[in-house]
Amino acid sequence: MLGKTLSGRYYIVKHLGRGGFGQTYLAEDRQLPGNPLCVVKQLKPQATDPLTLQVSQRLFDREAQVLYKLGKHDQIPQLLAHFEQEQEFYLVQEFIEGHELKQELPVGKHLSENQVMTLCGDILKILEFVHQQEVIHRDIKPSNLIRRKQDGKIVLIDFGAVKQVSAQKTNSERNTTLTVAIGSPGYMANEQLGGKPRFCSDIYAVGMIGIQAITGIPPSQLPEDPTTSEMIWRDKVQVSQPFADVLDKMVRYDHRQRYQTATEALQALQWVNSQMSTGAYHVPPTQTLTPPAATTQPIVTSTLLPQTDPSQPQTIQDAVAELSTSSVDTPISNAGVATPRNKPHWLIGIGVGLATAFALTAGIYYFPKQNNSSPLLQISNSPSPSLQKLNNSWDRVENIALANTFIGNSKNVYSVAISPDGQTLASGGDDNTIKLWNLGTRQQLQTLKGHSDWVYSIAFSPDGQKIASSSGDGTIKVWNLHSGQLLQTLKSGPEDRVFSIAISPDGQTLASGSKDKTIKLWNLGTGQLKNTLKGHSGFILSVAIAQNGQTLVSGSDDKTIKVWNLSTGTLISTVSEPSDNGVPAVAISPDGRILATSNISDKIYLWNLQELLKGCKGAQPCSPTRTIFAHKDYVNSVAFSPDGQTLASGSRDNTIKLWNPQTGELKSPISNHSGAVNSVTFSPDGKTLVSNGEEGKIEVWQSSP
């Protein structure tokens, strides 16, 4: 086959492997510019009589249609072509550059509990999408999971559905049958071994990968209980009982005792994470951990992301098509009436370059002015009494209603902000303007023009007299809020992009994060550059300033979060993003205790900011206190309510979710009617939440007691 050209375009350059279904080759597509690489799978029927070929052709076409649908998921290779040539069948799929997960799981290596929980969650999210297409993979194992070099995400390859085609054979009665026991020893459930795979058979395989990752022992080397046939592994490693119970339930010998869907398993993982983080749950030795039915909330489903080129994240004009699913949570209708949604609703959206996806997060972090004489590490013990009960109604989905919808910028709104008096709403987007609205009357007040590129971030000064905006044109502009007069133009650098800005509580300092990998501190009054903070090796995607006026936090696409002393510019600590992703959004709780960060996947991490301010010194580096499996797509924005009791997150999956930042538990999900959510912000009184959508729409949500 080497050197052969198939279908007049696919030139075979390398033999990759052999399986029960046939051969796999690396090929060049000679009909596309640059001759990109692809994978060609050759499928050979076991017989060549007309009946077998006819049946094989029909099944081959059916399975190709399934693979085409599956390939719409960013973490499943795309099917590029399928054809028959010389009575052999060929599939051409996207080539995934990366390494097999088995390289990360050598014998004897133990991953941490948090790493294993994240790994299992990532695989289950892909499986949720696969199972929605009525497909059982049947061969999930480390060698069929690729860690993609481009973005570090897990990609699921080699679908068992295709093997059904290659496994066709004709018996003596000329009836077509299927061979059985497709799968790999150690990862194959008992019912699958008997030729009757179920959706929970895939969950069994994920559980075995989790046990392998946490014990460092391959499944084939783990003993079984001779009486129950259950795996014996807990004595091989120290692991918390709640997480061990989840893994055990995933790999039960009797399929009826397992989680029946990927969603159930994901719910269990999130619940364990939240309960173990708070220490609120203690499992008796004989009890099997199962999330309470009355309190379990639906969590993330499949992540559907466009592939982007991280080497050119500034190419924001290069839009690509993508598919995204709406939330499976209970959405909020325009009338505030909760209506269930059981089936995925497919939408065609627009994906943009990586920098755009990052820049969509440009959130607004406004904190009321206060006395800044307190020491750097001084943190209040509780929220202000006047704020303690502001947002209780966000806890109940039935109390949340869509109050208003504004038609803002021409297409996409990337940032929204509310003035300190709660009267003015500002929006910035891809028409290069900032629009100001009366939040109560919905009247558009004025449009601020002057930027020559998209407006990524907006911030009000604490006294409500000024508004600042940052843009892809490399400038920050400061305007008089009432007259609309341009007061200052701060130039970050030639061909730079300023993705995020924040203003200090005393109104003296504006911090900006940009493409040039630096954070710049400006005198808001004079426009003078006060300091340049260096240390990140990638674009600065998000910045936030704590209410004490002394702490600055930054997130970057270099996959780190940095904590700085705002006054001196000193770097206090650096922590890595746990999922090895860029950090598009950061937010600090009003009391300064909690740092919330998002990633370009689907998670939110909560950190103890006090520990970060100590420099993460000691034997162990700082780690998140909680991991929230938050959304199905990029988490573009996070924001705390003024009382600190609610954390809002907005995602490209068209949802807003409200969380308890102390426990990480989901309070209320909101289905954003206008599309992907790039920015969320609370009003100063905590009773209003504003989000952006697509087609220039801005949605105003209100809660009632």
Q: Which residues are catalytic?
A: 139
- Report the alpha-carbon distance of residue 156 to residue 140 in Å, rounded: 8
- Report the alpha-carbon distance of residue 414 to residue 470 in Å, rounded: 11
- Report the alpha-carbon distance of residue 627 to residue 625 in Å, rounded: 7
* Other residues' Cβ atoms within 10 Å of the Cβ of residue 618: 9
- Report the alpha-carbon distance of residue 443 to residue 438 in Å, rounded: 5
Burial of 592 (0-12, 13-18, 19+ CB in 10 A): buried
- Report the alpha-carbon distance of residue 612 to residue 622 in Å, rounded: 7
What distance lies between CA 564 and its chain's CA centroid?
26
- Who contacts 21 (Cβ-Cβ below 8 Å, separation ≥6)? 41, 43, 162, 163, 165, 166, 167
- Who contacts 185 (Cβ-Cβ below 8 Å, separation ≥6)? 219, 220
- Report the alpha-carbon distance of residue 66 to residue 258 in Å, rounded: 26
- Who contacts 284 (Cβ-Cβ below 8 Å, separation ≥6)? none
Total length of the chain = 705
- Report the alpha-carbon distance of residue 514 to residue 501 in Å, rounded: 9
Q: What does DSSP assign to residue 78?
A: P
φ, ψ for residue 348, nearest 5 deg: -100, 125
- Report the alpha-carbon distance of residue 175 to residue 328 in Å, rounded: 41
Q: What does DSSP assign to residue 119?
A: H
332-341 contacts, C-beta under 8 A, 24 or more apart: 332/397, 332/400, 332/401, 332/402, 332/669, 332/670, 332/671, 332/701, 333/402, 334/402, 334/673, 335/401, 336/398, 336/400, 336/401, 336/402, 338/397, 338/398, 341/671
Identify the CA nearest to 544 among candidates 583, 493, 497: 583
Identify the CA nearest to 121 among candidates 333, 266, 309, 282: 266
- Report the alpha-carbon distance of residue 466 to residue 488 in Å, rounded: 11
Identify the CA nearest to 7 among candidates 23, 28, 36: 28
Structural contact between residues 598 and 635, judged by C-beta atoms closer than 8 angstroms: yes
Any bridge partners for residue 91, and if so which? 41, 82
H or E segment at 203? helix 199-215
Structural contact between residues 427 and 434, judged by C-beta atoms closer than 8 angstroms: yes
- Report the alpha-carbon distance of residue 414 to residue 429 in Å, rounded: 5
Laid out side by side, the sheet with 98-100 consists of 98-100, 145-148, 154-156
Residue 511 corresponds to which amino acid?
A
